[in-house]
Structure 1
Amino acid sequence: MNTQQLALVFPGQGSQKVGMLAELGAAFPSVKATFAEASAALGYDMWDLVQNGEQAQLNLTETTQPVLLTASVAVWRLWCEQGGLQPSLMAGHSLGEFSALVCAGAIDFADAVRLVRARGQYMQTAVPVGEGAMAAVLGLDDAQIIDICQQASAAGVVEAVNFNSPGQVVIAGKVAGVEKAIELLKAAGAKRALPLPVSAPFHTSLMRPAGEKLAEALAAMSLQSPKIPVVHNVHGKTESDPSAIKALLVEQIYSAVKWVSCVEAMAAAGITTTIEAGPGKVLSGLNKRIEKSLSCLNIESPETLAAALEAVAQ
């Protein structure tokens, strides 16, 4: 395989779990060293929290975001340390886009850890707990879902926010709007319309106050042009200008995640293999559904690392 055929992708919220990367941490000192760096930036022992903490604490968005970013960076560093093939593209789902930008050399790791903790706080305070909701919708096409959300928005803001794979879209908004949309979606023939266990309506227009705060935080930060191009959630394209990247990160917080567009763009650029760096294999499953020709690997254990290294060496 050559570099042009490989992309690394980075998971977003929902992939965190207590005990994640435990075997990698035991086998490779660099994994714990990466967590120690993040711990120094935030002032608490992140590895201990990830291995011995409560799942409920890991699920708080201001904790989830730095934890997942750190896990992804740890896996990327390990990949490089083990002589893994350098990818020609990177992408990340929502929070994962920050992981991609760190791994691509655009954002300093410690700065990013602090930034995504703040991002989590901004997102949580934009809509008080209990006022927002999200739901996964299976079995309807995108246009139908967008149309039904518009109809349901008379009850409260509700929007299509994650285009994850064909036939799988996440909606979000005010509780009443989401509940009304679920009712209409089921009536329209959705196979499933399930509320998700999240604490805020991410990627909706309700997140604009969080976007304004994130813009202030980013204005004070230094970004570089990525060494490896990153495909952005907002439009499924790459961007090299640091100021444009900052604007995309702000827009992303209150705009839909166009993951289907991201994966289609990577496939159109010649990518044949994606490697998911971090816990779980949510993106690997989505990527395969979007582009059936893709080989989709993930790295979260010594075994999956060895398998990925072997696959790209052929």
Structure 2
Amino acid sequence: MIVVVCPGQGSQTPGFLFPWLAEPRFADHLTALSDAAGIDLAAHGTTSDADTIRDTAVAQPLIVAAGLLTLAALLDGRRDKIGGVAGHSVGEVTAAAAAGILSETDAMALVRERGSAMTGAAALEPTGMSAVIGAAEDELLGTLAELGLEPANFNGGGQIVVAGALDALAALKEAPPAGARVIPLQVAGAFHTRYMSPAVAHLSTVAAALAKHDPSVTIWTNHDGTAITSGASFIDLLVGQVSSPVRWDKTMDAFAAAGVTGLIEIAPAGALVGLAKRGLKGVPTVAVKTPDDLSAAFDLIDGKS
């Protein structure tokens, strides 16, 4: 079973869309997605600098649009060969479009509002996020409780991203759990924690107005890794997930239980393939970073690799 995965925030890099926009079909598609989002995604994907595309309100639509470009090529004539799809954090919006839950236009409208709402919530209080690698989970969770921090992403393979007040994150870095490394992340706030509650309220209203369809392919939720058969339920979980932890560890466990035989990460790819190499050892993977990588993905789907 081939699973397609959609990356989250932090996967974007300056200029990463240049190879895609060299082909007119992708350039035209991005123009339509830019119109839907009300953002010049071509400029942000080619000439904008790292600080500009780190802005949550820019990064999230940019990442989803890149994924939709990839999906249009990847699934053309091969949709029936894909066993399932999942997204990490904002990648769940991309996954919802891949599964037919949302139209591309509605996906771009939702991610525009998601990025804007999360930016607004982050501005209310100075917070941040750090990746913790190599900590014993129980010990780390106890430390977080003492510091008033929260787990934000359970990424599997010994990596947990934590979030909260900047002084508490600094204290964690100064005295990490035994054998652990704490790496501060360049993000605007404590995503997937209680600090994002104001964004959830806004997104609930936005999502209620969208047309939703039940998925045409298996789709797993970040909430707890289960497969969701109701499009409306998936969107409800996607909205709530803004202020609750991403359980990518459980999502990968679900892939394994379902019998995954290959994993393809769509653009801007790299992070989820890296996690899969630790959490799904032995499963072949392809990271589609540019159109040149599509041939390897096709080979994996077609059983040629």
Task: Give TM-score, length-normalised by structure 1.
Answer: 0.91
Does residue 1:244 correspond to 2:266, yes or no?
Answer: no
Q: 123-132 or 108-117, which moves further after superposition?
A: 123-132
How far apart, in 1, do the equivalents of 2:138 and 2:169 lie?
17
C-alpha displacement of 1:49: 2.4
The 1:82/1:303 distance shift into structure 2, 3 A limit, reads farther
**Counterparts of 1:290-305 in structure 2 under 5 Å?**
290-305=279-294
Match of 1:35 in 2: 30
Match of 1:178 in 2: 169
Match of 1:279 in 2: 268
Q: 1:213 aligns with which of 195, 199, 202?
A: 202
The percent identity for this pair of structures is: 31
Does residue 1:254 correspond to 2:243, yes or no?
Answer: yes
Kept after mapping to 2: 8 A contact 1:129/1:199: no
How far apart, in 2, do the equivalents of 1:202 and 1:152 lie?
17
How far apart, in 1, do the equivalents of 2:34 and 2:91 lie?
19
Kept after mapping to 2: 8 A contact 1:211/1:253: yes
Q: 1:11 aligns with which of 7, 29, 33?
A: 7
Question: Which blocks of at least 5 consecutive residues in structure 1 are unaligned?
Answer: none
Kept after mapping to 2: 8 A contact 1:160/1:170: yes
Q: 77-86 or 64-73, which moves further after superposition?
A: 77-86
Does residue 1:86 correspond to 2:81, yes or no?
Answer: yes
| 1:199 partner letter | A
Kept after mapping to 2: 8 A contact 1:162/1:169: yes
Match of 1:151 in 2: 146
Q: 265-274 or 235-244, which moves further after superposition?
A: 235-244
SS of corresponding position for 2:123:
coil
Kept after mapping to 2: 8 A contact 1:207/1:253: yes
> 1:265-288: per-residue Cα shift (whole Å, max 9, x none)?
011101110000111311001011
SS of corresponding position for 1:261:
helix
Kept after mapping to 2: 8 A contact 1:229/1:238: yes
Q: 53-62 or 172-181, which moves further after superposition?
A: 172-181
C-alpha displacement of 1:297: 0.8
Kept after mapping to 1: 8 A contact 2:61/2:108: yes
Does residue 1:59 correspond to 2:48, yes or no?
Answer: no
Match of 2:21 in 1: 25
Match of 1:100 in 2: 95
Kept after mapping to 2: 8 A contact 1:145/1:160: no
SS of corresponding position for 1:81:
coil
Question: Which blocks of at least 5 consecutive residues in structure 2 are unaligned?
Answer: none
SS of corresponding position for 1:238:
coil
Match of 1:166 in 2: 157
Query: Please, what is the CA RMSD of the aligned residues?
Result: 1.7
SS of corresponding position for 2:4:
strand
How far apart, in 1, do the equivalents of 2:80 and 2:288 lie?
14
C-alpha displacement of 1:310: 2.0
Q: 16-25 or 260-269, which moves further after superposition?
A: 16-25
C-alpha displacement of 1:50: 1.1
How far apart, in 2, do the equivalents of 1:207 and 1:84 lie?
35
Kept after mapping to 1: 8 A contact 2:17/2:42: no
How far apart, in 1, do the equivalents of 2:104 and 2:138 lie?
38
| 1:171 partner letter | V
SS of corresponding position for 2:211:
coil
| Residue correspondences, number | 303
How far apart, in 2, do the equivalents of 1:190 and 1:202 lie?
25
How far apart, in 1, do the equivalents of 2:9 and 2:132 lie?
18
Task: Give TM-score, length-normalised by structure 2.
Answer: 0.94
> 1:73-95: per-residue Cα shift (whole Å, max 9, x none)?
10010112375763111011000
How far apart, in 2, do the equivalents of 1:310 and 1:85 lie?
15
How far apart, in 2, do the equivalents of 1:217 and 1:84 lie?
29
Kept after mapping to 2: 8 A contact 1:133/1:174: yes
How far apart, in 1, do the equivalents of 2:128 and 2:289 lie?
30
How far apart, in 2, do the equivalents of 1:291 and 1:144 lie?
24
How far apart, in 2, do the equivalents of 1:100 and 1:254 lie?
19
| 2:298 partner letter | L
C-alpha displacement of 1:166: 2.3
The 1:305/1:84 distance shift into structure 2, 3 A limit, reads farther
| 2:230 partner letter | D
